[in-house]
Amino acid sequence: MTRIAVVGSGYMGGGMAQVFALAGHPVVISDATAEIAEANLERIRLETQQFEEQGLFPAGASATIAANITAAASIEEAVTGAEFVEEAVPERIEVKHATLRRISDANPSGIIGSNTSTISITRLAEAVSHPERFLGVHFSNPAPFVPGVEIIPHPLTSEATITAVEQLIEGSGKVGARVKDATGFVLNRLQYALFHEATQLVDEGVATTEDIDAIVRSTFGFRLPFFGPFAIADMAGLDVYAFCYASLQEDFPERFATPAILSERIARGELGTKTGGGFRAIDPARIPELVAYRNRAYAKMKALLDELGPSPFDEPAAESQS
């Protein structure tokens, strides 16, 4: 069990507090004032109760949350003696700097993580004493249900800090991945690249927002819970990717220049799973197992989507159906 403090108990702070508390850790939340922290604790308790009733949290979750999360009157009270502090105040560097200064003054030895979406961890570290104990610990929204967490050391973060956070994240049922401190990290850089291209397609009149969302959800987005872009490229064939790049370059020569790491693999005869080599290592003897997994995954994904039905974005409101 790790004594945890969450500073900034809003949307993300509340969700992360739930995750850690459900994993059995004692969590103290704090906010700009004692009143806000108390009100947010009440909100977290109510929300947990609803999640339990809806079957989204395990039976007994409300009792666990009630026992494990408390609200402190101040940031200092919350973080004193905590082994891990997660900062989740608004995404403004001056607010984060001031908060991190207060955290590190009150707690000179605990590990400190920031949930920043976009701000450089190296810049945030300027406000932390003993910066080797500081790093980005970036949960996604909604934190109780989205498994992935970006773990972002800055150049001075110690290996012991990173390992301790990786263990805490894995032990709380989440999936951590290490990322260098580069603008946008991995998640937002990729997410915004997709969004940027999608907005260009709308601007050019190629498709509507509704049709683009439908295509993303029902084609390549459908694969993404199971395979990332490199596994997908390996399965498609890197030579196929090179042909597609050549075609895209006719109209977008700079935006779709063939990546060097793709050309290098093709030059070595590594064309993906069909040649036993590509971006991701896999024993060729396991290809039939991979294909079977893929087919099972996609069939089950289709069944899940059929069971859930469309989201309210895509389902007409009840009154307009009649």
CB 10, min distance to ligand NAD, A? 2
- Nearer to ligand NAD (CB atom), residue 50 or residue 200: 50
* Closer residue to ligand NAD (CB): 7 or 61: 7
DSSP reduced 3-state for 148: strand
Provide the minimum distance between the beta carbon of 290 and ligand NAD in the complex, in angstroms, as a whole number. Answer: 32
Q: Beta strands of 90-233 (E only): which ranges?
A: 111-114, 134-139, 148-153, 175-178
Rounded to a whole number of angstroms, the minimum distance from the CB of residue 210 to ligand NAD is: 23
Q: Please, which residue, 64 or 117, has the CB nearer to ligand NAD?
A: 117
How far is Cα 258 from Cα 189, in angstroms, rounded to an integer? 19
Note the residues at the interface with ligand NAD (CB under 6 A).
7-13, 31-32, 36, 75, 88-91, 95, 99, 115-117, 140-141
141: β partners = none
CA distances from 162 to 86, 92, 113, 158, 319 (A): 14, 25, 10, 7, 52
Least Å from the CB of residue 114 to ligand NAD? 7
Nearer to ligand NAD, 121 or 271 (CB): 121
Identify which of residues 7 and 27 has a Cβ nearer to ligand NAD in the complex.
7
**Least distance in angstroms from the C-beta of 16 to ligand NAD:** 9
Closest CB to ligand NAD among residues 107, 273: 107
Q: How far is the CB of 146 from ligand NAD (least distance, A)?
A: 9
Q: Which two tokens stand for residue 179?
A: 């990322």
In Å, what is the CA distance from 50 to each residue of 29, 53, 56, 57?
A: 20, 5, 9, 9
Question: Distance from first CA to last CA of the chain, Å, rounded?
Answer: 54
SS3 71: strand
Closest residue to ligand NAD using C-beta atoms: 10
Ramachandran angles phi, psi of 87, nearest 5°: -95, 130
Residue 177 DSSP class: E
Cα(34)–Cα(180) distance, integer angstroms: 35
Virtual torsion, Cα 147, 20, 133, 87, nearest 10 deg: 90
Distance between CA 127 and CA 96 in Å, rounded? 9
Classified as helix, coil or strand, 119 is coil
Nearer residue to ligand NAD within complex by CB, 141 or 218 = 141
Q: Residue 317 corresponds to which tokens in the numbers above?
A: 């409101």
Q: Which is nearer to ligand NAD, 184 or 276 (CB)?
A: 184
